[in-house]
Amino acid sequence: MSDMKWPEIQKQKFGFKRPIARNKTKKIKFDKMLKSSNSYDDNNIPLEWDWRKYGIVTPSINQGNCGCCWSFASASVLESHLMKVQIYEGNFDPNNQLYLSQQNLIDCSREYGTEGCDGGSSKDAFEYVQSANQLNTYNAYPYTGIPNNCYFNRGIDVEIREVNRITTGADDELVSAIYKHGPVTVSFDANINFMNYRSGIYEEPLCDPENISHYMVAVGYTPEYFIVKNSWGENWGEGGFIRVSRSKLNNCGISEQDYYPVLTNDVGTDQMRDKLKEIY
């Protein structure tokens, strides 16, 4: 990407748009915010958690030159939440991970406010799936990176009970959601320095929480950082992931516009800890 001009990067590699306001928007539930990081033990939330260890986080796929990070983040979160249910039901195969279709979201969710390669919101994507109750797999509806007419066929059943939003700036609430429910789509100010990230804990003093441009997926946390999956392929960052510093609240907008679905058959992590087995 070093040979690309910044306006090209913004258009082709990002894709965040704030969700539109609609009269028919379903009610968004706000979880109770934890008081501080010191309250983890009081709420049975471990100090560290990483869903990759349990095999339910798929590898990073490169979105290419389409500004559709919102679709990649949304599909990734849904994959993980569905595979978490598979673990609870005893039919999860870590060697046969579930891959859902980003293209299905790009082509079929426009009436919910998304704009294909010109951006979108994970909230709007989740609400489309909530209405459709299904989503195609990646193989059934492969990614092209070019918006097309919707040709959705019957896919995987995805029953979403509600779409939740993290309270703006509530990093501890984000921690709670990651542990209790699963990965969460997170917003981010992906400025020019972000492009060159290779490894380590990312600390960028010039980023602005109010200047968010990108969607990614928070899959874990420690007291020092969030573990975040990007959609630029495994050659970027730490195998497609980045560790975002928690040295300050809402660092680079990581808890500015965050959403996650609660499936109808969702099982709280505490209720299924005996079924979780570290795979990697």
Residue 20 has what pLDDT? 56
Residue 266 identity: D
The alpha carbon of residue 20 and the mean position of all alpha carbons in its chain are separated, in whole angstroms, by 19
Note whether 103 and 97 are within 8 A (CB): no
Residue 169 has what pLDDT? 96
User: What is the spatial distance between Cα 264 and Cα 186, in angstroms, rounded to a whole number?
Assistant: 22
Q: What is the DSSP letter of 146?
A: S
* Domains and their CATH numbers in the chain: 9-17+30-275 (3.90.70.10)
Residue 153 has what pLDDT? 83
Residue 279 has what pLDDT? 82
Residues involved in catalysis = 69, 214, 230
User: What is the spatial distance between Cα 31 and Cα 51, in angstroms, rounded to a whole number?
Assistant: 20
Query: Within the chain, which residues score under 50 in pLDDT?
Result: 6-7, 9-13, 23-42
pLDDT tens column, 24-44: 434 333 333 333 333 334 468
**The pTM is what?**
0.88
Q: What is the DSSP letter of 118?
A: B
Backbone Cα Rg of the chain: 17
Residue 195 has what pLDDT? 87
How far is CA 112 from each of CA 23, 115, 132, 174, 206, rounded to the nearest angstrom?
A: 12, 9, 11, 25, 33
pLDDT tens column, 153-199: 888 999 999 999 999 999 999 999 999 999 999 999 998 889 889 99
